[in-house]
């Protein structure tokens, strides 16, 4: 593990999945041309986010469904790994709000279901994910996936850090009125856990909602490495293994008093 160059795709939601895949294909080519090895897309990037319970159910599919296969073909065509969001079919209720990591060879390496649902928007459309986030390995890096609201709770990011995560990848659809997440919370999550945090937000409008953009990458000491503003953008950042090792050398995680934290499980 030395460096990892990633791209964050900050975009508005397309009208349909056909347009979404066409835009993803073009963006993957653009990101790879700028030496990115990984492209992180916003939450529910292939279908739209606030689409209503019926449409979310109609578009839901298994993790190895047609959307997955289309993304795998794009990843292989351009030689770039892709994290994308989609509604995952759930045999026991509403779909899951899911994000999947597909490697440059088209292999599905991780699928995560959003565990913390945001208000009536999420609860009307989705079931909460039943499993805690888990770390997976890719190209020598230990990575974890969270989705939007998940990163606003300290526990999910801390769980990934305790599993040895080097970077937390966060597809999101954060609204413009909640800029404090990017300004305050994300640098804090990176610093307190000594991990990189890559946050790919939507922008523009969807229905009556305006998404805030401000996609960013924070280093493991909370330093802002790269960021977007409000409009559509492709943010390129290189994560350094040396920076990670230096941050770990001063980490406070070894000083944790886990024996005192029983209330956190309630």
pLDDT of residue 262: 86
pLDDT of residue 258: 87
3-class secondary-structure state, position 164:
coil
Would residue 114 show up in a list of annotated catalytic residues for this protein? yes
Would residue 94 show up in a list of annotated catalytic residues for this protein? no
Residue ranges per structural domain of the chain = 3-252
pLDDT of residue 1: 67
Would residue 148 show up in a list of annotated catalytic residues for this protein? yes
pLDDT of residue 104: 98
Q: Are β-strands 38-40 and 216-218 bridged in parallel, bridged antiparallel, or unpaired?
A: unpaired
Grouped pLDDT means (10 residues each) for the chain, 266 residues: 94 96 98 98 97 97 98 98 98 97 98 97 97 97 98 97 98 98 98 98 96 98 98 98 94 91 80
Question: Other C-beta atoms within 10 Å of 254: how many?
Answer: 6
Set 88, 114, 203, 218: catalytic member:
114
Set 11, 41, 43, 94: catalytic member:
43
C-alpha to C-alpha distance for 113 and 31, rounded to whole angstroms: 26
pLDDT of residue 94: 98
Query: Exposure of 2 by Cβ count < 10 A (0-12 exposed, 13-18 middle, 19+ buried)?
Result: exposed
pLDDT of residue 263: 84
Q: Are β-strands 216-218 and 136-138 bridged in parallel, bridged antiparallel, or unpaired?
A: unpaired
Whole-model pTM: value is: 0.97
CATH number for the 3-252 domain, one of 3.30.110.40, 3.40.50.720, 3.60.110.10, 3.40.50.300? 3.60.110.10
* Cβ-contact 95, 84 below 8 angstroms: no
Which contiguous run of DSSP H or E holds residue 154?
A: helix 154-162
């Amino acid at each position: 593990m030395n460096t990892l160059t990633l791209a964050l795709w900050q975009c508005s939601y397309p009208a349909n999945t056909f347009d979404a895949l066409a835009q993803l294909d073009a963006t993957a080519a653009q990101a790879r041309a700028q030496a990115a090895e990984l492209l992180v897309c916003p939450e529910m990037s292939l279908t739209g986010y606030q689409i209503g319970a019926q449409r979310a159910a109609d578009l839901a599919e298994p993790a190895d469904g047609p959307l997955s296969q289309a993304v795998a073909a794009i990843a292989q065509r351009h030689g770039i790994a892709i994290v994308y969001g989609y509604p995952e079919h759930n045999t026991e209720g509403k779909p899951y709000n899911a994000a999947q990591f597909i490697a440059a060879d088209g292999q599905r390496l991780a699928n995560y279901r959003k565990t913390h649902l945001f208000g009536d928007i999420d609860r009307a459309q989705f079931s909460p994910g039943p499993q805690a986030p888990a770390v997976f390995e890719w190209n020598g890096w230990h990575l974890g996936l969270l989705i939007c609201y998940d990163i606003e709770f300290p526990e999910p990011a801390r769980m990934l850090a305790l599993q040895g995560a080097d970077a937390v990848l966060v597809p999101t659809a954060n609204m413009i009125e909640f800029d404090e997440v990017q300004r305050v919370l994300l640098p804090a999550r990176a610093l307190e856990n000594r991990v990189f945090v890559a946050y790919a937000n939507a922008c523009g409008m969807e229905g009556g909602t305006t998404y805030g953009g401000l996609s960013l990458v924070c280093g493991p000491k909370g330093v802002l490495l790269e960021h977007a503003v409000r409009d559509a953008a492709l943010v390129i950042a290189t994560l350094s293994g040396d920076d990670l090792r230096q941050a770990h050398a001063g980490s406070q995680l070894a000083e944790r008093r886990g024996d005192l934290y029983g209330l956190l499980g309630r």
